[in-house]
Structures are given as structure tokens and as C-alpha cells.
Amino acid sequence: MSRPAAVTFKGTPMTLAGEAVKPGQAAPDFTIHFFEGGLKTITLADLKGKPSFLSIVPSLDTGVCKIQTKKFNDELASLKDKINAVTISLDLPFAMNRFCGAEGITNMKVGSDYQNRSFGNAYGMLIEELKLLARGTVVIDADGKIVHAETVSEVTSEPNYDAAMTAIKSLL
């Protein structure tokens, strides 16, 4: 399934693959990759047991993605051990690791959906024309149910930080 004109990128309509996730539904499974002394994976099962905050960005090497990642890194600092916090993009795990080191991102893991785009397809966030993820946030409770989901309508705009933070804090 595809959703034509689901978002815009610099004003141009873009198609998103898959169905958008919605609060109340079970979070779809996915596999993303990160680099920590070697390539490792994160799946939905790895996140169960405590609330999860997912920040989705097209590429960490762009201005808005950098702002979003740094802002959530700072805002989530006080919740560090109480939640899983992950930024997801299609950047390679090595580039994501470099970005985090250069920008002091220590309160969030970074996961890459580069290998099979399972996250982008399962969460309705893959932009078909660009082969990048749309921008958004997803909050999942400890049992794997979605409590908040935002896909930003204009990919170059920032997400609703307050709504995402309110959702994760409501689970604590």
C-alpha cells in the first residue's frame, strides 16, 4: 500500500509506503542496526519492558534533523534509564555513530533502517520517491502499544516536541 501526497518535501507532494501507525494499535515489529564495537540490531522485542521514544529523521547530516536530535537528546536526559530512546534514519550506522560523537548525543541510541527498511515500511514512514524516512515521532508503552504517533506533514519542518514529550512522560 502507498499513500500518495501523504507528506511534502520542500512543498513537493511525496508518497509514503505502508499504513501510518496510530495510537492504540500494537507497534509493528522492525529491525534496525547500530554500531557499538560492531554492527548490532534493535528489534521491537528489545524495547519491550519500558516505554520507548522513537525520533524519526530523514538524515542526521541535515540542519532540521540535527536540531531535532539534539533537542530530544537534551529533553530526554532526565529520563535516561526509565525509557528506551532511539533516533531512526536511513543513514549508515557508522555515520550515525560519528554524528553522535561529534554532537555529544549520549541520551539516545541511533538506529539505521538502511538494510531492509523494515521500520519505514511497517510504520508508514518511508518516502518512496526519495528512499528516505519522513520526519516524526512515535511513543510506545512498555507492552508494545503505540500511545503517540506523529508524521510531520512537511518533512523540512520540526515535529511537535511538546506532544511527544507529554506522551512519553505520561507513561512514567
Q: What is the DSSP letter of 8?
A: E
Cell digits for 161? 516536541
Active site residue 100: no
Active-site residue, from 17, 54, 65, 100: 65
Nearest to 89 by CA among 63, 124, 122, 126: 126
93-114 burial, b for 16+ CB within 10 Å, e for fewer? bebbbebbeeeebebbbbbbbb
The torsion of the CA quartet 172, 25, 137, 45, rounded to 10 degrees, works out to 70
Contact 69, 87 (CB under 8 A): yes
Contact 79, 172 (CB under 8 A): yes
Residues recognised as catalytic: 65
